[in-house]
Every structure is written in C-alpha cells, then in structure tokens.
Amino acid sequence: MESINELKKEILKLTKDYSKKAHNSFRPAGDNLRAVWEKGMPIPYAGRVFTEDEVVAAVSSTLDFWLTLGSEGHNMESELANFLGVKKCLLVNSGSSANLVAISALTSYKLKEKKINQGDEIITVAAGFPTTVAPILQIGAKPVFIDADVITGNAQCDQLEKAYKKGKTKAVMMAHALGNPFDISKTLEFCRKYDLWLIEDNCDALGCSYSMPKDLANSLGFYENSPGLYDGPNNIIRWTGSWGDISTQSFYPPHHLTMGEGGAVNIINSQKLVVIAESFRDWGRDCWCPSGIDNTCKKRFEWKLGDLPKGYDHKYTYSHLGFNLKPLDIQAAIGRIQLKRLPEFIEKRKENWQYLRRGLIESERFLEFALPTHAKGWDVNNGFFWDNTECRSDCSWFGFKISIKENSPFSRTDLAKELDRNKIGNRMLFGGNLIRQPAFIEVKKANPDAYRVAVETKGSDKIMNNTLFLGTYPGLTKSMMDFEIETINNFICRF
C-alpha cells in the first residue's frame, strides 16, 4: 500500500505536468514554455504570471487542508517583512481590507492623544482608487483632498500645508500612483513638523524605491544600515511602503505579485501598532495567539480587562470592534512562490515601460507620458534626467500612463476605443477625480461636511478627462508590445 507521503508526491507530480500543459499562456514573457501570442489575440493590461510552481504549492497546501491562515501565512508574512525591511507584515484578504485595517488601527484608544477620532481630518489626493479614501469615511474621519499632478499622477505635495488644519489634521494617507512614488521627502517633512501619521498605500508600488540625501534622511529619523535600508554613496534608499508609519499592499492578479485575492498591512517600526492592527484584522480580540495555538502569553486565564471577571479566557476578550479579514493559507502558499519571483518581476516592469516609451516617440506630438517624481524629462539615449532636489524615484511601474495633450485632434475616449477594437487592454487612472464619482456626490448630499476640498482639483480633472494606461506586467512579450506601439502610432498617423 502506498504511504500518504508517496501518494501526495504522485499527486503533485501530476499537478506539475497538468499545469505545464494547461497554463502555458500565463508563464513569464521569455519563458521557452510560454504559449506564443499571435495578432488578433487579446493583450490584457495586467494579469497573473505564474508557472507550475505556484499551482503545486496551492495543491500541496490544499491537500494538507489547514485552510485558514497557518504556517504558510506565517512564513509569507516573515518573508515579505524581510524584503521590505519592516517590523511586521500582516496578511489580509485584499488591498482594500489592508487600507481599512491600517486606518482603523489608528483609531485605537491605546494610542491615547495620537488616536484618530471621529471628525478628525486626513489629507489625501483627489485622483486615484476609491478604497484609498473610503476607509477614512468608514471610520468617521474626514478626507481632505489636495490635487494630483498630471505628469506623475501623484499628489501635489506642495499643497499639503494648504490642507492642514491645526487641532484637526491627524494623518496623511495617499497612494504611490501606478508604481510611481509620491514626493516622500516633502510629505515626511510635513508629517514630522505636525506630528502626523503617514499611511502609504503601496498597493501599486511593491518594488519601487525612493532615495534622499543622507543628511535629510537622518533629520527624518532614517540612518545608515538601519533595517530595510540600503545605502548609496551619498543617499539613503528605501523601498516604498517602508517610509511611513504603516503601509498597505494588494495581491490581486494585476499587482506586482498575486495570491488571487489578498493583501498585507505593513507596520514599519512600532510593536504597539503591530498588536493593534492584528487585533483589528482578527475580530478585534486582545489575544495575539495564532489560530489553533493557545496561551502564548502564558497567562490565558489570568487577565483582568474591561468589566470582565478576572480569568476570563483571553482568546475571547475583545479590545476593539474589529473584523475577520484573513486570507487562506492556500493563498499564502501561492504568494510565497510569487515573492521569490518579485526581483525579476520588478525589473521586467521597468524594462517594459522603457520599451513602450521608446516605441511611442513619434507620437509625442499628441501624447504626454509619465515621469517619475523628481524627474524633469526623458530622452531615448539617457532615459530620465532629474531636478536639483537630489531625491530620486525608482519606479517598478504598475502601468504605462498616457495623457492626451490639449491640442490633440482626438480624445482619450477615441484612443481607448481604438485600443479596445484591437483587443488591447487599457484602463483609466482608476476613479479619476473621486469627488466627481456618484458615491462621493451622494456622501456629500447626505452630509455636506463629510469631506473637504482644500484646493481646486484641476489636475485631477485633467487626469479624469485625458488619461489612460496600458500594462507593464511581466507577462507582456515584445511582440505584444510591438503590436500596441504599432496600433497607437498608426492611429495617431491618421491625424
């Protein structure tokens, strides 16, 4: 009779063989087993990129049938935290849930005078994805909107002071748009000046980095050879998602790595925030034992909390009104394999952006392209050139942003329709100007004081009206990108 281990080994061998045949169109570009793309086939703007290794990991975890977050989850949390150089990563079931947990954690009474109360203000940016902003409203705080820059897609961080209100502003919460870091140095200086929380929505930017001169970094509390830092000759360099107090990731299929559904909350350096965020993720309980493990505090029946009797089971003691937002261990098993691919995926996104940019030079008359924060321009021979701040952004692009110039004889919608006609995946910059969205209009109708617009949002309107993006994901082959370039250049030649 076969042993269980032998049977599992045989199942996984067959799984590997099956996946090689069934999933060859999802392999990384350049993989010699990848199915060949031909004209007429769709080109998605993003998608899963994996091999049989992820499928085997998922099936192996399924056969173990632990299901809820367990050893695979614990290992992925440690591996992701080691990559980012942060105190702790907590896996959750989506990037949107990560944003909800991150902002909810800052409402904890355990933070005393630093806690965010109902009616407190949080500065954010008008252009972007709604679930960066929705959790602010969901906790009863007030979003305060500044404008977005048309070129970078990011917040115009020189407007932060205009949004500040003494005694009311408690935090800044913004995304690094399309894998382009916002101005971290200016934002951190602002947050340090007023003792504000900084929450980085890093969902589109895993693998992007930001550098600043060492004297500036030191003044903001970052020093050489600290965890998560790697040093240039004159600068300190750090991954996005590791500069603020807390940050978030999404592992939905279009993102830099995938668990199917999934995300993470990254706690940069505070053990207190680790315990609070974990509580909000796990039903609001006070106990920090993982599922299936009891009494790691060695005094499970000795606590006296709230008005509960002394000795009430710590596993059923709740310090917050929390949620249950954990993913499955199966997803974490997939994510761990993906995390090993991350360095390759990061570089491929950079290469794909440059390839598309070079190919679309002849369309510059009517099209405007993204630049990294602090970059002043781009040329075909030297790539990006920079302003005089000495800060730099290194982008692992989530997408290839294209804006239609004001003098163009066609609209963004015209170009989007042409791309659709040729089965080329494209997307708007998410919600465009969020304050124009039906949900935010209805929120304002119900409560005119629900949010505040600190400045005119002309840049966000331009993004809403004139901008779309193509993919840069590591499943794009050169033949796919050549067809995208050909389609756009031919379309513009008509004008």
Element (H, E) at 186: helix 184-194
**Strand-pair partners of 145:** 124, 453
The span from the CA of 14 to the CA of 429, in Å, is: 42
Given the residues 23, 74, 176, 255, select the one marked as catalytic: 255
| 147: three-class secondary structure by DSSP | coil
Give me the residue label for tokens 């949107």.
Answer: 96
Q: Cβ neighbours of residue 183 under 8 Å, at least 6 residues apart?
A: 154, 155, 157, 373, 374, 391
**Strand-pair partners of 403:** 368, 467
DSSP symbols for 361-389: GGGTTTEEE---TTEEEEETTTEEEE-SS
Q: Cβ neighbours of residue 143 under 8 Å, at least 6 residues apart?
A: 121, 122, 123, 124, 133, 136, 137, 451, 452
What count of Cα atoms within 13 Å lies in the side-chain half-sphere of residue 136? 28
**Strand-pair partners of 384:** 378
Q: At what angle do helices 412-421 and 478-493 cross, to 10 degrees?
A: 130
Q: Are 452 and 126 in contact (CB under 8 A)?
A: no
Q: Are 89 and 81 in contact (CB under 8 A)?
A: yes
Give me the residue label for tokens 């505070």.
Answer: 270
Element (H, E) at 10: helix 4-22
What count of Cα atoms within 13 Å lies in the side-chain half-sphere of residue 457? 27
Using CA atoms of 449, 244, 192, 133 in order, give the dihedral in degrees to the nearest 10: -10
**Strand-pair partners of 125:** 146
The span from the CA of 181 to the CA of 177, in Å, is: 7
Annotation says 255 is catalytic: yes
| 171: three-class secondary structure by DSSP | strand
224-250 residues labelled b (16+ CB within 10 A) or e (exposed): eeeebbebeeebbbbbbbbbbbbbbbb
The span from the CA of 173 to the CA of 189, in Å, is: 15
**Which two tokens mark 308?**
């509960």
Strand intervals (E) in 68-215: 88-92, 121-125, 142-146, 169-175, 197-201, 209-213
Q: Which residues are catalytic?
A: 255
